[in-house]
């Protein structure tokens, strides 16, 4: 497997933002009235004008040592849950994906001016970067001809947020796509996701070699 660091840049129009996901983040459980819907649309349009998606990713061979996941360059992450998630995998991708600093600017602007808009933009930003992760993962799967376990991020379960800086360093994420960390290990741009995602061992991979979009097996466990 190709172990080089790669980058991916996408224009805003390449990602379909799932507004229903954004609304779930906002805990909206019923249909909104017209004025609120209008607000969501307005935010969506402003957001799409501002953002530019960037990501970098890199493949590592891995081994599991008890609660530790060890990368082929010797770097290890200690987390029982991650070790379980990657159990049986021979390799994994590390990636970080971001909607960029303009998303932060937009949210910050409205955070002082019109907090309803900031709130909706924040949720749209989260949904957008999720959508970008999906698109990117699909692209990686196709590029490498593999399928993935669910992705796992620093801060999930027992994978400490403190390993964030190590992950970003392995991906040269500061120089490549401008990711920085605050002293409290928060990523800025804030609409960013870093994760490790296991490559399913051959035995687990889907038998139908077709693209999931063209496949009828709706309940397939390997479906994207």
Which residues are at the interface with other proteins (CB under 8 A)? 1-7, 9, 26-30, 32-33, 35-36, 39-40, 52, 73-75, 101-102, 104-105, 107-109, 111-116, 118-120, 122, 155, 161, 169-170, 174-175, 177-178, 180-186, 188, 190
Residue closer to other proteins, measured from CB, 191 or 207: 191
Q: In the bound complex, what is the minimum distance in angstroms from residue 35's beta carbon to other proteins?
A: 5
Residue closer to other proteins, measured from CB, 122 or 130: 122
Q: What percent of the residues of the chain are helix, what percent strand, and what percent coil, each to the nearest 5?
A: 45, 20, 35
Residue closer to other proteins, measured from CB, 30 or 207: 30
User: H/E/C letters for each residue in 148-178?
Assistant: ECCCECCCCCCCCHHHHHHHHHHCCHHHHHC
**What are the residues whose beta carbons fall under 8 Å from the beta carbon of 144, sequence distance 6 or more?**
1, 2, 59, 199
| Cis omega (within 30 of 0) for bond into 189 | yes
Q: In the bound complex, what is the minimum distance in angstroms from residue 4's beta carbon to other proteins?
A: 5
Helices of type H across 5-79: 19-25, 34-50
The residue assigned the tokens 């970067």 is 129
Q: In the bound complex, what is the minimum distance in angstroms from residue 83's beta carbon to other proteins?
A: 20
Q: In the bound complex, what is the minimum distance in angstroms from residue 198's beta carbon to other proteins?
A: 20
Torsion 135-161-156-89 (CA) sign: positive
Residue closer to other proteins, measured from CB, 174 or 210: 174
Residue closer to other proteins, measured from CB, 74 or 221: 74
DSSP 85: H
Residue closer to other proteins, measured from CB, 181 or 212: 181
Q: In the bound complex, what is the minimum distance in angstroms from residue 111's beta carbon to other proteins?
A: 5
Q: Do residues 64 and 196 lie in contact, with contact meaning Cβ atoms separated by under 8 Å?
A: no
Q: Which helix (H) or strand (E) holds 121?
A: helix 115-144
Q: In the bound complex, what is the minimum distance in angstroms from residue 188's beta carbon to other proteins?
A: 5
Alpha-carbon distance of 162 to 19, in angstroms, equals 31
């Amino acid at each position: 497997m190709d172990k080089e660091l790669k980058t991916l840049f996408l224009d805003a129009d390449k990602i379909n933002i799932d507004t229903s996901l954004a609304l779930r983040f906002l805990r909206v459980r019923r249909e909104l009235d017209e004025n609120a819907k209008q607000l969501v649309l307005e935010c969506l349009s402003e957001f799409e004008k501002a953002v530019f998606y960037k990501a970098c990713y890199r493949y590592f061979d891995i081994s599991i040592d008890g609660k530790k996941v060890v990368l082929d360059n010797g770097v290890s992450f200690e987390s029982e849950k991650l070790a379980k998630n990657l159990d049986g995998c021979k390799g994994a991708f590390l990636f970080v994906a971001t909607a960029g600093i303009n998303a932060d600017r937009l949210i910050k602007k409205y955070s002082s001016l019109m907090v309803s808009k900031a709130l909706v933009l924040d949720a749209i930003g989260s949904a957008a970067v999720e959508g970008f992760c999906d698109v990117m993962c699909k692209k990686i799967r196709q590029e490498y001809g593999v399928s993935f376990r669910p992705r796992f991020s620093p801060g999930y379960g027992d994978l400490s947020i403190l390993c964030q800086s190590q992950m970003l360093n392995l991906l040269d994420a500061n120089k490549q796509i401008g990711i920085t960390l605050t002293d409290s290990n928060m990523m800025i741009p804030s609409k960013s996701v870093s994760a490790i995602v296991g490559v399913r061992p051959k035995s687990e991979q889907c038998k139908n070699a077709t693209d999931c979009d063209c496949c009828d097996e709706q309940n397939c466990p390997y479906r994207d």
